[in-house]
Amino acid sequence: MGLLYTCLKYLVVSLWSIFVIAPFLWAISTSFKDFQSVTNGATYIPWVDFEPTLEGWRALWKSPAKGGVDIVEPFFNSIFVTCAGSLISILLGTLAAYALSRFTFKAGFIRNSDITFFFISQRIMPPVVLAIPFFIMLGKFALLDTLLGLIVVYIVLLMPIAVWIMVDFFNKVPREIDETALIDGCNPYQAFYKVVLPNSIPGIIVAGMFCLIFGWTDFFFSFILTFTEVQLLPVAIVALNSSITPWWSLSAAALVSVAPLIAVAFVVERYLSKGNLSGALK
């Protein structure tokens, strides 16, 4: 580990950091611009390169009738749908993953690994494939443009992730722990929630984190399956993608949309450092 390696290490880490931050810095700068400071070539530093305005930020609270986006309601819709979808997915996914990790299933040529693959393979389908059939199906149940309808779709989107992570996790938890619980007088359900569940917190946190990420970042389903009653954040923000794009309010909105999950990043890092998650992700 010479000096050379150390220098190289800091160089790479710094370069990558710049790359990671660059679009955010640009977005922050742009969010204080107006039409003129955008269309006359690139500008960077407020007061030096251009006269900053708060137009972009104000647009976030204004109604579209005044040229704004009003992302407040979509913001909370997004949080609600993502959290609800994640919760249900984790609940069902954890149960299924436990079953797949601990018990043997046989039906014809189908084995445990096939069932696990079936769960995970749902991620292979691009949203475009499912969007139309989902539209027709949700329409039949009058679930279009409702939070519930979106949650149903998010379950398909997120449960595979929960199953994938939790099967892996449970495979690493010694099954003797649950056996001991059974021997100590728990029936399988009690063993699950008194012993297995409390010891699966790291796995559940990881699964939850991935569910939150993939739920929060989805665009196409909410785009196609909602109209007016329920709008999610990405859809509301993309609705700024007009033929004259207001770069400033778009940048402000983008920054707002990033904020909640940055909190998630801190949580993840904390658990990583404490070593609680490593077992869950291995």
Partner 1 sequence: MNFKHKYLFLLPGLLVLLGILIFPIGFTVRLSLSSWDSFYPALDFIGLDNYVRLFTDDKRFWEAFGRLSLLSLTTVFLQYVIGFSLALMVWKEIVFQRFFRVLFLIPMMTTPVIMTVIWRTFFHESLGPVNDLLSYFDVTPLWLSSELLAKFTVILVEVWQWTPFMFLLLLAGLLSLPKEPFLAASIDGAGPIRTFVYVTFPLMAPISIGAIIIRLIEASKIMDTVYVLTSGGPGTATETSSFYIFIKGLREFQFGYSAALSFTYLIIMIISLTIIAKILVKLMVRGN
Partner 2 sequence: MSLIASNLCLKADTEYHLNDVCFEMSKGEIYTIIGRTLAGKTTLLKTIAGLIAPDSGTLNLDGSDFGRIPVWKREVAMVYQQFINYPHLSVYENVAFPLKQRGILKTEIHNRVMKSLLQVGLEGFEERKIQALSGGQQQRVALARSLVKEANIVLLDEPLVNLDYKLREQLREEFRNIFTAKASEDAILIYSSTDPVEAMQLGGQILVMDEGRILQQGNAKAVYENPSSAKVSQITNDPAMNLFEGTVAEGKIILSPQIQFDLPRHCQELPPEKYNFGLRAAAITLDEGGFPFTIELSEISGSETFLHLKHEHVKVVGLLDSVQNFNMGETVMARFDTTHLYAFATDGTLKSSPYSGMK
Partner 3 sequence: MKRTYISLLAVSVALMGGTAQADKWSDQFPHIKNTGDIAGECSYEAMSQKDYSGQKLTINTHAVPVMGEPTALHAEQFSALTGAEVNVIHTPAGDLYSKAMVPFQAGQAPYDIVFGFSNFIRDWKQYLEPVPAKYVNMAQMKDVTQSHIDVNTWDGEMIQFPIDGDRHYLKYRKDVIDNPEYQAKYKAETGNELRIPQTWKEYGEMAAFFNDWDWDNDGELEYGSAEVMKKDDLMFAAFFSRSVAYSKNPRVKGGFFFDLETMEPLINGPGFVEALGDWVEATKYVPPGGINFGLGDEINSFGGGQTLFSFSWDDAFVAAMQDDSPIKNKVGVAPLPGSNRVWNRDSDAWDDTYNQAPYIVWGWTAAVAKKSENHEMAFDYLCFFANDANHQADIAIGRFGVNPFKKSDFVADLYVERQGWDPEIAKQYADTLMEMEEGSTNRVFPLRVPGVFQFNSAIATGTAKALAGQLSPQEALDEVAAEWTKIVDRIGADTIREAYAKGVALEDAE
Residues forming the site for partner 2 (CB under 8 A)? 174, 176-177, 179-187, 190-191, 195, 198-199
Options 227, 259, 266, 275; binder of partner 3; rule CB under 8 A? 227
d(CA 265, CA 90): 19
**Residue 33 or residue 102: which is nearer to partner 2 going by CB?**
102
Query: 277: closest CA among 177, 174, 194, 207?
Result: 207
Binding mask 64-93 for partner 3 (x = CB under 8 A): xxxxxx------------------------
Options 5, 48, 174, 242; binder of partner 3; rule CB under 8 A? 242
239 binds, among partner 3, partner 2, partner 1, none (CB under 5 to 8 A by kind): partner 3
Cβ distance 159 to 89 under 8 Å? yes
220 binds, among partner 2, partner 3, partner 1, none (CB under 5 to 8 A by kind): partner 1
Show Cβ contacts of residue 53 under 8 Å, excluding neighbours closer than 6 positions: 32, 33, 34, 248
Cβ distance 147 to 82 under 8 Å? no
**Residue 153 or residue 230: which is nearer to partner 1 going by CB?**
153
Cβ distance 181 to 191 under 8 Å? yes
145 binds, among partner 2, partner 1, partner 3, none (CB under 5 to 8 A by kind): partner 3
d(CA 77, CA 69): 15
Quote the tokens at residue 246: 């207001």
Interface residues with partner 3 (CB under 8 A) are 35-36, 38-41, 63-69, 132, 135-136, 139, 144-145, 223-224, 227-229, 231, 236, 238-246
